[in-house]
Amino acid sequence: MDLNRWENKVALVTGANSGIGAAITQRMLNLNLNTIAIDLNIDHLMGLKDQMDGKAQRLYPMQANLCNEEEIQRIFQWAEETIGGIDILINNAGVSGQKSLLEHKSRSSQVSNLQIISWRQI
């Protein structure tokens, strides 16, 4: 497979601050993709930017709550105006954690918002 065809394309990775999302973000950068990395917490992403040497200029860390439609629209508008849009979308964001039965309904609403409401206009 010719991975060079992705060079200079734009990838957007959600849930990019840690775990699988951080690994995907790093791989996208290593493939020379411009990478928009989104998470609620971008501390690790800022550190990754410092570690990537010559590839750091390709990383665009952005803090956003993907359950908020306005924040999603802001990101896509920024991408269109600044770097020409998005070629690859990697939906890795999620919500997790143990919750009591009383808190479960709230968490279910967050999952539904993340899966359905937030990305419906893409």
pLDDT tens for 13-56 read: 999 988 999 999 999 999 999 999 999 988 888 887 787 778 88
Strand order in the sheet with 59-63: 59-63, 34-39, 10-14, 88-90
The predicted structure's pLDDT at residue 18: 87
pTM score, two decimals?
0.76
Beta bridge partners of 34: 10
The predicted structure's pLDDT at residue 8: 86
Q: Is there a domain that residue 114 lies in?
A: no
Report the CATH number at residue 36: 3.40.50.720
For the segment 75-101, the average pLDDT, to the nearest whole number, is 85
Number of domains in the chain: 1
Give the structural domain span for 53. Answer: 3-93
Q: How far is CA 95 from CA 28, 77, 82, 113, 114, in A?
A: 23, 25, 29, 11, 9
Helix residue ranges per DSSP H, the chain: 19-30, 43-51, 69-83, 101-112
